[in-house]
Amino acid sequence: MTVDLIRDALRTVRYPGFSRDIVSFGLVKDISIENKVLHVRIEIQTREAEIPQQIFKNCHEVLDQLPGFIQVKVEIDVKDPSTQTPATQAGSSSIPGIKKVIAVASGKGGVGKSTVASNLALALAATGAKVGLCDCDLYGPSIAMMFGCHEKPMANERDEIIPIETNGILIMSMGLLLEERSPVIVRGPLATRYTQQFLRQVAWGELDYLILDLPPGTGDIQLTIVQTVSLHGAVIVTTPQEVALIDARKAVSMFAKVNVPILGLIENMSWFECDAGQKYYLFGENGGVREAERIRVPLLAQIPIQVPISQGGDSGSPVALLSPATSKASAAFHDAARKLIG
């Protein structure tokens, strides 16, 4: 048996709750063989005791079957995530010139995540920060439409994609590269490659914040991002009803497993307010408030249902461009940006 064969055997051991294995996650730090004794050292950052226990058990189930060893020793070094900075996340690294990388995520589609990401980026830029917005949803890109952008990106002399500047922020989206009716039909590995190019081969320049609009769920693209980029944190978007909160918890759990802090929760579609001032809680009342308290993260905003939000997204003029004094939705996004900066 060689070290490479042993490493291949460990590729069958999945990280609990994910489809990725512990080798691709970069957790296997050392493999050595001495006097027919196999030593494997694994490092994990987690507060959940059952995760290293499960990995220990699964490693032994695989390694104990290998021929030629009189003993197998699996050592798991468990580190407290609170002592690790985003720059020390396993396998990830920072993007040159970008101070903070923040993911906007949701457990399910249809909760207004792209709307929140767009308006949050504009609200951050309104504070004087330099902001970029990367649409990581390859299959359903909507950022280009929300900003009314039809210009095709060019490349510089280093073959980097030059992002489009609009309303004071830089944006990049698959929607800028495709015709309006062209679908993206790619399997996981190619989607992973596109995502890495959007992060690493775009000339973002010097930014205070790069906002990543993630696709819904907890699939390959999300895992690629947390594995390759040092995220400073994530913002979770949900609507008040329980069916959305269930999936929001899955997104929170995913980020917790890979040691990305949750910076806050935004409850979208919180209520509809009629002209007389009466509020109607169409999807339930304060579900996001209770969830933020449960997972002990700040509630950054409750965004009401207002016609200008959808009109702005369709016309390429997001609602955060309106004065907070005249739009409650705009005011909520600007308040969320100030809380996020804090």
Q: Do 53 and 169 fall into the same domain?
A: no
Residue 226, pLDDT score: 77
Give the global pTM. Answer: 0.72
Q: Do 66 and 91 fall into the same domain?
A: no
Please tell me the total count of domains within the chain: 2
Residue 88, pLDDT score: 41
Residue 179, pLDDT score: 64
Residue 90, pLDDT score: 44
Residue 306 maps to which CATH number? 3.40.50.300
pLDDT tens, per residue, the chain with 342 residues: 889 899 999 999 988 876 678 887 778 999 999 999 999 999 887 777 888 999 999 999 999 999 989 999 999 998 765 554 444 444 455 788 999 999 999 888 889 999 999 999 999 999 999 999 999 888 778 898 899 988 888 888 888 899 999 999 999 998 888 766 656 555 556 767 777 888 888 999 999 999 999 988 766 777 778 777 888 999 999 999 988 888 888 888 888 877 888 999 999 999 898 888 888 999 889 898 999 998 888 999 999 998 889 899 889 999 999 999 889 999 999 999 999 998
Q: Do 133 and 28 fall into the same domain?
A: no
47, 81, 115 - which closes a domain: 81
Q: Do 201 and 328 fall into the same domain?
A: yes
Q: Do 71 and 175 fall into the same domain?
A: no
Q: Do 195 and 235 fall into the same domain?
A: yes
Q: Do 107 and 65 fall into the same domain?
A: no
Q: Do 190 and 136 fall into the same domain?
A: yes
> How far is the C-alpha of 342 from the C-alpha of 247, rounded, in Å?
27
23, 55, 81 - which closes a domain: 81
Residue 52 maps to which CATH number? 3.30.300.130
Q: Do 41 and 12 fall into the same domain?
A: yes
54, 81, 108 - which closes a domain: 81
Q: Which domain, by its residues, includes 114?
A: 87-341
